[in-house]
Amino acid sequence: MSSRNRASMRAQRGVGIVEILVAVLVLSIGLLGLAGLQMRTLRNNESALERGVAVFETHAIADAMRADRSNAIANLYNIALTASAPTGTTFRERALRAWRGNLTTSLGAGATGEVTCNGTACTIKVQWDDSRVNGGSQTYQVVTQVQL
Q: Where are the domains of the chain?
A: 3-147
Higher-pLDDT residue of 131 and 77 is: 77
Neighbours of 77 (CB within 10 A): 25
**What pTM was computed for the model?**
0.75
* pLDDT confidence tier of residue 104, bands split at 50, 70 and 90: very high
Cβ count near 50 (within 10 Å)? 22
CA–CA distance from 88 to each of 93, 95, 98, 100 (Å)? 5, 10, 12, 14
Residue 96 has pLDDT above 60, yes or no: yes
Average pLDDT score, the chain: 88
Model pLDDT, residue 14: 62
| Sign for the pseudo-dihedral over CA of 40, 41, 43, 48 | positive
